Amino acid sequence: MKIKSILLIVFSALMLILLLTNLAPVEFRLLFWKVQMPMIIYTVITLLIGFSIGITTGMIMTRKESQAVSAPEDKSSAD
């Protein structure tokens, strides 16, 4: 098994334990709103937002790197 697969399995198991032990309702405030929901839902939403930001950032960085490699550089010299 690759190290990434092992880390993914360990992280997933830890997140499952964390989610199943946090079922109590929590309240959080966002500006003028008060929202009350179970901690498990709040944690899942936070994880999905973080995962989405990480994937999007990775895709943008990969795209910029591939454009920089494929774009010809202007090497005109005025000799």
| Residue 39 maps to a domain | yes
- pTM value is 0.56
Separation of alpha carbons 52 and 59, rounded Å? 11
| Residue 51 maps to a domain | yes
Q: What are the 10-residue block averages of pLDDT along the chain, 79 residues in total?
A: 88 84 85 88 88 91 78 57
Give the domain range for residue 22: 15-67
Q: How many domains does the chain have?
A: 1
| Residue 74 maps to a domain | no
| Residue 55 maps to a domain | yes
pLDDT computed for residue 57 by the predictor: 92
Separation of alpha carbons 43 and 38, rounded Å? 9
| Residue 73 maps to a domain | no
Separation of alpha carbons 59 and 71, rounded Å? 18
